Amino acid sequence: MSNEIEAFQDPGEAVHAPRAADIDPRAEKRAEQQVAALFGLSAVGSLLLIYSYIWIPEDVFIFIPVMGDQNAHQLFLGLGMAMSLFFLGMAAILWAKKLMPDTEVVNHRHEFRSSDEDREEFVKTVKDGVAGVQLGRRKLIKGSLAASLGLFALPPVLLLRDLGPLPGKELEKTNWKAGTRLVTDPGNRPILASDLEVGSVVQTLPEVAPDTHRPLSDIAKDPVLLIRLRPEEFNLTPEKLAMTHDGIIAFSKICSHMGCAVALYEQTTKHLLCPCHQSTFDVTQAAKVIFGPAARPLPQLDITVDKEGYLIARAPFNEAVGPSFWERNSQ
Amino acid sequence: MTTVEKRLGAAANFVDERLGAAGWMKKSLNKVFPDHWTFMFGEICMYSFVILLLSGTFLTLWFDPSQREVVYEGVYEPLKGITMSAAYASTLDISFEIRGGLLMRQIHHWSANIFMAAIVAHLLRVFFTGAFRKPREFNWILGIILLTLGLVEGLLGYSLPDDLLSGTGLRITSAIIQAVPLVGTYITFFLFGGAFPGVGFLPRIFTIHILLLPGIFLAVITVHVMLVWYQKHTQFPGPGRTEKNVVGHPILPVYMAKAGGFFFIVFGVTAFLSAVASINPIWLYGPYTPGQISAGSQPDWYMGWLDGLVRMAPPWETHAFGHTVSWNILIPALIVPGIIFTGMAFYPFIESWITGDKREHHLLDRPRNVPNRTALGVMSITFVLISLINGGNDIFATQFDLSINQIMWFSRISIFILPPIAFVVTKRLCLSLQRADRDLVLHGMETGQLVRMPSGEFAEIHKPISAQKRWILTSHEQAPALELPATDARGVRRPGALKNKLRIRLSKAHAVAVPKVSAQDLKEIEHH
């Protein structure tokens, strides 16, 4: 290259300047004392840790400005450990910097590429080895080897089959059936439609026999939000309106985006907001998505009341609740 | 000979007669490591990994990774009598009943954060200085693998306590896997042992988190460090430093003392943070139940940018032929990160294709001298930062009294606009810095001393810079752009004309530079 001729010359490294400890015995002594002091502080930290572990009770709180009330046991245990480690490290580094030799050393690099002879020999070795295997000539062995290796790969995959059940229609199902009562969560109490005031929101689950254990997998798909508005506030298709009862509308609480609980309801705007990704659903328009990444409204549960006036589901959900999946077949 | 020397000699003799280690050790102990503060990021990664192994082992002694439901009867009053998983209950026990347990939990979580932060800093240092160039491409790819593993390992780790926040994270993770076309539902059912939350997930991710991934980590880190050892460390340009040598301190004693000391400092700082700064106080979140959630649910920061991308995705879903494809999940959570990570892994090869440079490089670049690469890096950082801000949009909205919708729209638009702007601005800044270097070499340093000339004119005295400094500013190479004529010597059109055109354009953009000062330039100016 043209500019290489005119380039500057490498001036070489600047002359090495001695450190204070290299020339002044007093500075050397001082450095030694500093290193020893740091090792000493580390030992103090270890003792503090031991003291805190054994003698500071675990229920003592002390007030520290800025930090507020702190558990003394945890705090001093941690500070002791921090001191013991930190000053050990500082001592070693100070020792290296002030007292150990500080002249830089030069090593040489070599190109990584092997020599041509080595490469040729390598290729020859590999070729000889491959020729010794005789795969080209032994067609029968080649074929059976391929078959056996192919089959050999299957068992490890097969052995993982029992990790879980096949999905089947599992994701389409919830425990809501025609006639299932909506009960409060927590509390498991049926809800009288007449008890719900306008503007109220209730989290509900399908009724189970008293003291029945609800598995988490049910709680992951069954929660339903009940919201009561004034009937004239709705802006619904006749079909969706028929699924409400006297201003009470019910949605799956499981977000149609990624399955978080859609837990935030804003009274004034009548919006439901999912705290995970801020998808916003308009209750007055049957939980239509008005903002955020969710692509579908929250599934609406068809509700009515039974003879005693308790809220029940008129039918199961007519679509899968929760996040989308490949097999999902409904708009 | 003292007795100690005699004993050590006997031990060394015993080992060497069996392993022949002296020859190799002699060379290794004289190994030279160049010094620079940015070389410590990688060290912090390695030390944090050791801290993670130590503190993690402590935690496994008491942690019970089971989804079995138990009634909490421990000392933490607010949760007494509440049904929860054994995993959550044992995490509470570690926090409140095992002395030093909370400290170890916090050390584990803090060092995970430091580990990821140091990986990112290390990655940026290697990228901006061009340390990934030949012959270190393998190590660059290993680094990308470690980064990816770190993201997964971190996610699994903070999912284990089974508190409300971590369960929410797993719910989202399951939705992402479930969104994969064709096999997603099946994979979720196999991983979780049924529909979310399933029956077997915690014990499974526990084994992956404490055995499988740490094992892979250990193997990859070992190869990563061995390659650094074998290929020798890169060094910054400077007087006496060339592509053929490596200048620094020998491993024994200085480097060893410094590196060993630095391990304890990293550990000490982590312990200090863990003593005074609470992290992941799971007892405040309560046990996980899918029907509940707390506002402001945030993943750890290194996953936060992915969550931010998911939040800003448009609500696109395709329904066709009885199937659903969730673009609103696939694009931000799998496709975009997939492109970013693949692009990162291939970058060394892409750059060498653009420049046509197939030589070994051991001297690092000053970022300003490679404006295109530096601009690309800053562009990527901008992209991730906007995503990260959007990942905390609810927090920003409540803290600064803003509307979530406005932040979301800001992110949605700026994710396309700001990164290219960052590219252009960075490139110009790099060129300006090159110009400043040029001025410095030509005219020397401004001394701040004003003199009045006999003519009455005022002038500032400029002091010439030292030969060492001048060498740092001028020793880099300024390679011209590739020349790939569209036709060959016989006038026949080369194949792949479009590809060549692209390559020439990229190469031109890559070669843009302010001409550096040559010795001749300086001589000419001195004559004036």
Question: What is this structure's pTM?
Answer: 0.94
Distance from CA of A204 to the nearest CA of B (A): 10
Contact A105 B135 (CB under 8 A): no
Contact A323 B197 (CB under 8 A): no
pLDDT bracket for residue A16 (50, 70, 90): confident
Distance CA B106, CA B115 (A): 14
Q: Is the pLDDT reported for residue B490 higher than 80? A: no
Run of H or E including A63: strand A61-64
Contact B267 A85 (CB under 8 A): yes
Residue range A231-243: average pLDDT?
92
B460 secondary structure, DSSP code:
E
Higher-scoring residue by pLDDT: B28, B283 = B283
pLDDT bracket for residue B30 (50, 70, 90): confident
User: Model confidence over B200-248: pLDDT tens digits?
Assistant: 899 999 999 999 999 999 999 999 999 999 999 999 999 999 999 999 9
Residue range B309-332: average pLDDT?
93
Distance CA B470, CA B423 (A): 29
| Angle formed by the axes of helices B404-443 and B467-474, nearest 10° | 130
Facing residues of A329 across strands?
A: none
Buried b (16+ CB within 10 A) or exposed e, B190-209: bbbbbbbbbbebbbbbbeeb
At residue A280, the pLDDT reads 95
Contact A85 B190 (CB under 8 A): no
Q: Which residue of A has its CA nearest to B316?
A: A295
- Decide: B387 and B306 in contact? Cβ < 8 Å: yes
Terminal alpha carbon distance of chain A: 66
At residue A6, the pLDDT reads 66
At residue B528, the pLDDT reads 60
Contacts of A164 in chain B (CB under 8 A): 189-194, 198, 200
3-state secondary structure of B201: helix
User: Model confidence over A201-233: pLDDT tens digits?
Assistant: 999 999 998 888 888 989 999 999 999 999 899
Contacts of B243 in chain A (CB under 8 A): 109
Cβ-proximal residues to A111 (8 Å cutoff; 6+ apart), any chain:
B360
Distance CA B415, CA B235 (A): 35
Q: Is the pLDDT reported for residue B496 higher than 90? A: no
| Torsion of the alpha carbons at B375, B376, B382 and B387, rounded to the nearest 10 | 180
Among A73, A85, A260, the residue with its CB nearest the CB of B271 is A85
Question: What does the mean pLDDT of chain B come to?
Answer: 93
Among A14, A74, A170, the residue with its CB nearest the CB of B195 is A170
Tokens of B367: 């970022």
Contact A293 B314 (CB under 8 A): yes
Q: Is the pLDDT reported for residue B82 higher than 90? A: yes
Contacts of A223 in chain B (CB under 8 A): 290-291
Among A74, A78, A261, the residue with its CB nearest the CB of B290 is A261
Among B268, B408, B471, the residue with its CB nearest the CB of A85 is B268
At residue A2, the pLDDT reads 42
At residue A25, the pLDDT reads 93
pLDDT bracket for residue A3 (50, 70, 90): very low
Q: Is the pLDDT reported for residue B497 higher than 90? A: no
Among B192, B295, B475, the residue with its CB nearest the CB of A164 is B192
At residue B149, the pLDDT reads 97
- B160 phi and psi angles, rounded to 5 deg: -65, -40
Distance CA B452, CA B256 (A): 55
Residue range B128-146: average pLDDT?
97
Any CB–CB contact under 8 A between A106 and chain B?
yes
Q: What is the ipTM of this complex?
A: 0.91
List alpha helices for A56-105, DSSP H: 72-98
User: Model confidence over B36-63: pLDDT tens digits?
Assistant: 999 999 999 999 999 999 999 999 999 9
pLDDT bracket for residue A1 (50, 70, 90): very low
Higher-scoring residue by pLDDT: B145, B497 = B145
pLDDT bracket for residue A77 (50, 70, 90): very high
* Angle of CA points A299, A303, A307, to nearest 5°: 165
At residue B98, the pLDDT reads 94
